Amino acid sequence: MYCFPPLDSGKISLTPLKKRIKEVPVRHMGKSRILLADDHAVVRAGIHKVIEDSPDLQIVAEVEDGSSLLECLERTRPDCLLVDISMPAFDPLKSIPEIRNRYPDLKILVVSAYDDDVYVHGLLEAGVDGYHLKDQSLGDLKLAIHRVLNGERWISGSLIKKLVDQPRPSPQTPMLTSRQIEILRLLQDGLDNNRIALEMNLSVKTIENHLTRVYKQLGVCSRLEASNYVNHHPEVLRIKGHRVFQQRPLTRRSHEVAILLVDDNRRYLHQLKRILSKVVPQADQYEANDSNEAVYIAKNIQPQLVLVDVVLGEEDGIRCARRIKAVSAKSRLVIISAYPDREFHRLSIEAGAVAFLDKKDLDAKTLQQVVEDLL
């Protein structure tokens, strides 16, 4: 763990960690307490010097990686966190919201060398109170700290024109494969490459290769940029429905009726949706063309009713039903098929379906009966 007290007079100390922890100064009355997180000792020394000259500010500790940050926050309970987003073992998109949820009154000021508006937008949306560029004067940093502590939002002046006057145009939606979409969804959920590999039963190297291609198709360079892209362009994940969602994860209010339709035949899907709109006009309908998309929607929406085709292109609809049941246990599953085989019926019931229906029998009357029986 690399959690240690501030450096004295801007000089780098080689005192052992255990001894240096004891040197954390007692809090002075009226001083705002700062935790400094940056992996560059020279940067920390410069910031320490600025704060040392401020009678109302006090650095209570410094950390140089993400693995030490949460423990040090809990131990020191600062008023403000000054954090560099490029530290080792630190994923800002995942960690900043966690820190914000755990310490709602904490002021968070990013001090970064990155001036890409994607980073700035993403981190402001993730919950930081300000974004300060390292190439600005240390005097400006002192002003930024005071502004943030006073409850104001701070953005370095050179970024304002990029953020306000020159909004990025919305590019055409890239066409990703089902596997790439699933990897991107797991990335959005905060999983690192190792966990994504375990989730998808692939090697870490394969995940890295997929992400390299995804980044290129999206026109981004990092996990943060990719996640922020999806926040602004959810259509890249092929999420459909009567609602337009601007943020992930998908949610619905508990009193709403949600129905998920899983079929790769667009013509039949359109027909089924039209019938259901007449039978259950108050319901929100969601559609998926493959298993990964269906599981993602089911996990976030928790639909009351799911209709799954037994054949999804080259995929197994019954296996898809099992996966949906695993993430949305209360959903009532109905397997539909153009091939009313007895074995399909048996496997469907084993997978958790409450009914197995022939596609040609799914008219308005039958669907009305299904909805009344199950909902």
Distance CA 188, CA 8 (A): 40
Say if residue 13's pLDDT is above 60: no
pLDDT at residue 223, rounded to an integer: 87
How many other CB atoms are found less than 10 A from the CB of residue 49? Answer: 14
What CATH number should be reported for the domain holding residue 304? 3.40.50.2300
- Do 201 and 308 belong to one domain? no
Residues 6+ apart with CB under 8 A from 365: none
pLDDT at 118: 61
Which pLDDT band holds residue 16 (cuts at 50, 70, 90)? Answer: very low
**What percentage of residues in the chain have a pLDDT greater than 70?**
79
Kindly report the pTM of this predicted structure.
Answer: 0.43
Q: What's the CA gap between 26 and 76, in Å, rounded?
A: 11
Looking at the domain assignment, is residue 245 inside a domain? Answer: no
Lowest mean pLDDT among 92-101, 126-135, 171-180: 171-180
pLDDT tens digits for 39-72? 888 888 888 888 888 899 999 999 998 889 999 9
Terminal C-alpha separation, the chain: 53
pLDDT, tens digit (0-9, with 9 covering 90-100), for 226-236:
888 887 777 77
The answer to the question of residue 318 being in a domain is: yes
**9-23, 67-81, 302-316, 361-375 — which is least confidently predicted?**
9-23
pLDDT digits (tens, 9 = 90+) for 187-199: 887 888 998 888 7
When pLDDT is cut at 50, 70 and 90, the band that residue 172 belongs to is: low
Do residues 280 and 329 share a domain? Answer: yes
Residues 18 and 131 both lie in one domain? yes
Considering the domain architecture, whether residues 225 and 134 belong to the same structural domain is answered as no
> What local confidence, expressed as pLDDT, does residue 243 receive?
34
197 within a domain of the structure (yes/no) = yes
* Closest to 249 in 3D by CA, of 263, 230, 236: 230
Residue 242 belongs to a domain: no
DSSP 80: E
- CATH number of the domain that residue 185 is part of: 1.10.10.10
Residue 344 lies inside a defined structural domain of this protein:
yes
Q: Are 93 and 122 in contact (CB under 8 A)?
A: yes
Contact 215, 222 (CB under 8 A): yes
Taking CA atoms, 228 is separated from 153, 202, 232, 305, in Å, by 20, 25, 6, 31
pLDDT in tens, 340-356: 667 778 888 888 999 88
Same domain, 206 and 85: no
Domain co-membership, 8 together with 81: yes
Q: Do β-strands 107-112 and 80-83 pair in parallel, antiparallel, or remain unpaired? A: parallel
233 plus 114 within the same structural domain: no
Residues sharing a CB contact under 8 Å with residue 302, sequence separation 6 or more, in sequence order: 252, 258, 328, 330, 331
Q: Are 177 and 290 spatial neighbours (Cβ–Cβ below 8 Å)?
A: no
CA distances from 209 to 85, 88, 190, 213, 216 (A): 24, 22, 18, 7, 11
Residue 223 domain flag: yes
| Residue 88: CB atoms within 10 Å | 10
pLDDT score for 125: 77
Structure tokens at 298: 């089911």
Predicted confidence at residue 109, as pLDDT, reads 96
Starting at the edge strand found earlier in the chain, the sheet holding 3-4 runs: 3-4, 57-63, 32-37, 80-83, 107-112, 130-133, 154-155
Last residue of a domain, one of 138, 164, 190: 164
Q: How far apart are CA 294 and CA 277, in angstroms?
A: 20
In a domain, 367, yes or no: yes
Rounded CA-CA distance 183/192 in Å is 10
Structural domain of 22? 3-164
Residue 221: is its pLDDT beyond 90? no
Confidence band, pLDDT 50/70/90 cuts, at residue 15: very low
**Domain's final residue, options 116, 137, 164:** 164
Both 193 and 150 in a single domain? no
Whether residues 96 and 136 share a domain: the answer is yes
Least confident segment among 129-133, 148-152, 370-374: 370-374
Phi, psi (deg, nearest 5) at residue 275: -65, -45
Which is it for strands 332-337 and 284-288: parallel, antiparallel or unpaired? unpaired
pLDDT at residue 340, rounded to an integer: 64
Residues 227 and 364 in one domain: no
The 10s digit of each residue's pLDDT in 238-292 is 654 433 333 334 555 445 688 999 988 777 887 888 888 888 887 888 888 888 8
Q: Do 275 and 369 share a domain, yes or no? A: yes
- 186 domain-assigned: yes
Average pLDDT over all residues of the chain: 78
Residues 185 and 102 in one domain: no
Number of domains in the chain: 3
Both tokens of residue 1?
């763990």
Q: How far apart are CA 154 and CA 221, in angstroms?
A: 25
Choose the final residue of a domain: 208, 237, 266. 237
Task: Classify burial at 306, counting beta carbons within 10 Å of its beta carbon; exposed 0-12, middle 13-18, buried 19 or more.
Answer: buried
